[in-house]
Amino acid sequence: MLSKYLTTLLGLTSVIVFNPVLPVQAEPQVYLEVEGKESLELNTNTLAILENIGLTLSDVESTATPAPGFSIGSVLLPPNSDPNVRGTTYTFLYDDDPVLYVTLGGTEEFLGTFTFEVDTTKLNGLGTQFTIGNFSNSFDEDFNFFVTDTANTGLRVFDVASSGIPNIDLNTLTFVLEGIELFFSQEFSDLLVNAGATQSVAGLKFIDSRADRSLMLVSASTPEPSSILALILLAGSGIVSRIRQHQKKS
């Protein structure tokens, strides 16, 4: 029986199910995401707030067929050996008995954009149209996952959260994670406020999403137990830090 669940998002998203004593028989392997999509549903209340401050959504570039219950699909770009071409590099360590899922590194790269008509009487310096998209999902040193806009601003535009545990099928080498939420970041809100927005959008939920991925086994050899434990402790320390910060805020 696992003694504790420590959750951080990927998802975009990463979830670690942490057993303080890793059994000798555990054989976690390294996997790479090679195909997939993110299914998106926009928050109507947040869209209304954006419109009020001067941004009206006018166009959505959907690049994949979304899962049932979602309106927009964003294709995951496959890995690419050319460093000048965007490609997914996200890898993780996984074992299903007992469940162990640890983010190792890399990014998830997506294709698709959102374009807004700008009310220039409310916002200055953004032009008459404002686009964000072609998102890159990655994580910082504390295992906080975030989404960067590579189409326009280069900013961290979303902070990512999830309460779920990914469903990984090793027979089909597929990955599904539901319950993902994307919130506008402080950096994105500051951009809008500096352009004249009368309201902060930091912390507002913009997207609910679901991740569907296809995987490739990268390493068929079992990593050294000491390396596995170090990765788990590193990830766990970041999660505990965030939990404490949340408790202080609440």
How much is the pLDDT for 235? Answer: 45
Q: How far apart, in whole angstroms, are the C-alpha atoms of residue 100 and residue 16?
A: 6
Distances from the Cα of 26 to the Cαs of 4, 20, 230, in angstroms? 17, 13, 15
What pLDDT tens digit does each residue of the chain (250 aa) get? 222 223 333 333 333 333 334 444 457 899 999 999 999 999 999 999 999 999 999 999 999 999 999 999 999 999 999 999 999 999 999 998 888 999 999 999 999 999 999 999 999 999 999 999 999 999 988 889 999 999 999 999 999 998 767 899 999 999 999 999 999 999 999 999 999 999 999 999 999 999 999 999 997 544 444 444 444 444 443 333 333 333 344 4
Q: How far apart, in whole angstroms, are the C-alpha atoms of residue 221 and residue 166?
A: 23
Q: What is the pTM of this model?
A: 0.81
How much is the pLDDT for 21? Answer: 42
199 with 221: CB under 8 angstroms? Answer: no
User: ω into residue 68 within 30 of 0, thus cis?
Assistant: no
- The contacts of residue 172 (CB under 8 Å, 6+ apart) are none
How much is the pLDDT for 18? Answer: 38
